[in-house]
């Protein structure tokens, strides 16, 4: 899997939008961009994934750059419960079923 780069930490205030960046300059044409997050004392949970077009679901939005070398996970209104480590992971469909390769992720702190 190609490498991703994320900031170590970010801070946000409650009810404000949060934009979590991820750089993946060596992404291949078939790699999907996945985001997982890990709340304190819990296992990681899937957030969202996309290939080329921007994606929305109940948890977040994923904005993908036109050249696909970067992406941004958007939390529209951060809550205290969104404080977690967010991981950006590239996945090729050809290796479906194999392990996720996690980096250190971005630790998001949310203040009230």
Contacts to other proteins by CB under 8 A:
32, 34, 41-46, 49, 85, 87, 91, 93, 96-100, 102-105
- CA dist 79 and 45 (Å) reads 17
- CA dist 26 and 22 (Å) reads 12
């Amino acid at each position: 899997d190609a490498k991703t780069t994320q900031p170590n930490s970010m801070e946000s205030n409650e009810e404000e939008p949060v934009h979590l960046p991820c750089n993946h300059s060596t992404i291949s044409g078939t790699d999907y961009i996945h985001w997982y997050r890990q709340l304190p004392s819990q296992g990681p949970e899937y957030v969202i994934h996309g290939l080329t077009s921007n994606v929305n679901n109940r948890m977040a939005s994923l904005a993908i750059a036109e050249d696909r070398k970067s992406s941004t996970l958007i939390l529209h209104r951060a809550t205290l419960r969104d404080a977690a480590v967010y991981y950006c992971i590239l996945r090729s469909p050809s290796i479906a079923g194999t392990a996720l390769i996690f980096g250190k992720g971005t630790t998001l702190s949310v203040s009230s």
